Structure 1
């Protein structure tokens, strides 16, 4: 049996984190979600000496302080964090946001659905895809 997918979810909105955690808990494939309420907290978790590296980071764009683009840029500047896939999660479908995400080497850009069932379907597909695509071998 494969180990659960390890996801780091970074979003400054408590409601958005709780909604995402609920969606992840309803997926058919096993996953473990760690949350960070800010870019600063996410980078601290990722840089900790004893950190469990996530298989994928799901990163909100618009956050106070260190925003999602800055977190992405900081991750890709660190050799030990560079291989971790990053999926930008945003309500924005603005072409400049999508372009900037890919310019900074995001692996994907997911426009968050505002309807819960559609969002649940997005998370289900996200977990299924990244469970298969993860870089670390199964245990």
Structure 2
């Protein structure tokens, strides 16, 4: 596993899902520092001024949704190529296609168990941290 600490921002309004994500990455021993933001507008402001290595983004949130935030992020120089992984409860084909059309690097459906979240965190770390070359 890479020793360099990476920064991940999790944009999701569901506190239970966020706890699962944070616990799973911790259990996986990932070299990732996680910042949680529950609101897309707050996330947009943070991402305008702060650098993150990865963005984990939910679609369904009140106010500005994840898809709108994704479009905004892809239009900014600072976040145009930052890896964005959509993590949503939706497995709807139109959501999946829309996410990729708008610049998502990956799309995953939220697991239903903590062990599913652990598998996600381990897979995320193996690919995004250990294998992929970041911009």
Task: State the Cα distance separating 1:104 from its structure 2 match.
Answer: 0.2
1:46 alignment counterpart? 47
Unpaired runs of at least 5, structure 2:
none
**SS at 1:133's partner residue?**
coil
Distance 1:59 1:123 in 2: 14
| RMSD, matched Cα | 1.3
- Residue among 115, 121, 124 paired with 2:122: 124
Task: State the Cα distance separating 1:117 from its structure 2 match.
Answer: 0.6
Unpaired runs of at least 5, structure 1:
none
**SS at 1:62's partner residue?**
coil
Q: Deviations over 1:73-115 (max 9, x none)?
A: 0000111210101000011111000000011010000111102
- Normalising to structure 2: TM-score of the pair? 0.92
**SS at 1:126's partner residue?**
helix
- Normalising to structure 1: TM-score of the pair? 0.90
1:29 aligns with 2:30: yes
2:88 alignment counterpart? 90
1:75 alignment counterpart? 73
Give the ranges of 4+ consecutive aligned residues of structure 1 lying more than 4 Å apart after TM superposition: none
